[in-house]
Amino acid sequence: MDTKILLIDCTGYPYKWINFEKAAYYIYKDVVAWVPTEVSYVLNGGISAATGKVSQLKIPSILAIKGARADRQRISERRRNSKALFKRDGYTCAYCGFTFHESKLTVDHVIPSSRGGSDSWDNLITACSPCNNKKRDLTPEEAKMPLKFKPYVPSRAAYLNFQQSTKLDCQAEWISRFL
């Protein structure tokens, strides 16, 4: 199952995605502060010798953890990768404005790395191969290729939104409150 559990901090701010095992651990350790959704998943365990019934652990799709506080600022540079960048930019070339399949996209440095441009979120954009080849190691102004949109560092909520492709409606709705 590709769907994960959305972990939120004690104030409700999206924190990170966790797997079922980690959610079960938090529930077992009694560190869940509150649960904003109904139970979404039921994990079946073994059969009880005393009752003959299957043990069950009910796991909500969203969990708030006691004491956890999400960093609401920008996402760290470590988390930047091509897939996340393409999702941030909606699979759209920042130069021509057309949308492409990710196999047709490249990552482009607005200020070329050969000219001191960094590998930071706010210097990287999605570009189709023809536009990236046309721009070469020039700035957008020099290449006469103005950006259709500006690159930006996503918030934690935005990053979590495009990090997990399979989300339940309640998870997507929860994250959307913070975008």
Report pLDDT for 118.
92
pLDDT category of residue 43 using cuts at 50, 70 and 90 = confident
Report pLDDT for 39.
78
- 3-class DSSP assignment, residue 52: coil
Domains of the chain, earliest start first: 5-73+165-176 (no CATH), 77-135 (1.10.30.50)
DSSP strands (E only) in the chain: 5-8, 14-18, 32-34, 39-47, 54-60, 62-65, 105-109, 124-128
Q: Each residue of 157-166: pLDDT tens digit?
A: 888 888 887 8
Residue 147 reports pLDDT greater than 80? yes
Mean pLDDT of the region 62-73: 77
- Is the pTM for the entire model greater than 0.85? no
Residue 7 reports pLDDT greater than 90? yes
pLDDT averaged over every residue in the chain: 89
